[in-house]
Amino acid sequence: MGSGKTTVGKKLASLLKLSFIDLDAYIEGKHRKKISEIFAEKGEDEFRKIERRALIDVSQIENAIISTGGGAPCFFDNMSLMNESGVTVYIEADPEELAARLMASKTVRPLIAGKSKDELIPFITKHLADRERYYRNAKIIYHTERMISKEDVYLTVNGIAEQLNKYLPESFQK
């Protein structure tokens, strides 16, 4: 949460002239409900099953950048599915930076709703510790520091694009 997956994913898709799919938006469109509503009505276990089915669906789509929620790689064999389907990227950021971004975000995130910044940093630190073993299986790990301005996003996108070049067919390389 808050690493810039959607922002970087959209810009990267534009740079590489690929489609962009946000998995959460895909789920919301298919179920005609916000992720927060699905969580509230069905709970996390059922949401993760819905997310898994959606991930299987979108993994069939070629020539697309797909942004998943932060928990998606950590359930079932989702990370293996993603690695088999394409090039995975982990945008790594420090807990303090993620907390600052999340506090500034207007997006409703069920797992952190109502938390103060003082509560958020330990929460993020614990979640990263729990999830790191999944995230570290990404084919590309890109650490970003203080990605705040449009220029920072541009540099991050270009940095990831440069690393992606070794995985993509020549027709996509920039």
Token look-up 């020539």 returns 63
9 is in an annotated binding site: no
48 is in an annotated binding site: yes
- Cβ-Cβ contacts under 8 Å for 96 (sequence gap 6 or more): 121
Token look-up 């996108």 returns 157
2 is in an annotated binding site: yes
Are 72 and 27 in contact by the 8 Å Cβ rule? The answer is no
Are 71 and 48 in contact by the 8 Å Cβ rule? The answer is yes
- Apex 60 CA angle, 55 and 66, nearest 5: 55
114 is in an annotated binding site: no
32 is in an annotated binding site: no
Burial of 158 (0-12, 13-18, 19+ CB in 10 A): middle
146 is in an annotated binding site: no
80 is in an annotated binding site: no
3 is in an annotated binding site: yes
Q: Which helix (H) or strand (E) holds 161?
A: helix 150-164
Question: How far is Cα 149 from Cα 136, in angstroms, rounded to an integer?
Answer: 26
Q: Which helix (H) or strand (E) holds 19?
A: strand 19-22
Name the binding residues for substrate.
24, 48, 70, 131
Name the binding residues for Mg(2+).
6
Name the binding residues for ATP.
2-7, 109
Name the binding residues.
2-7, 24, 48, 70, 109, 131
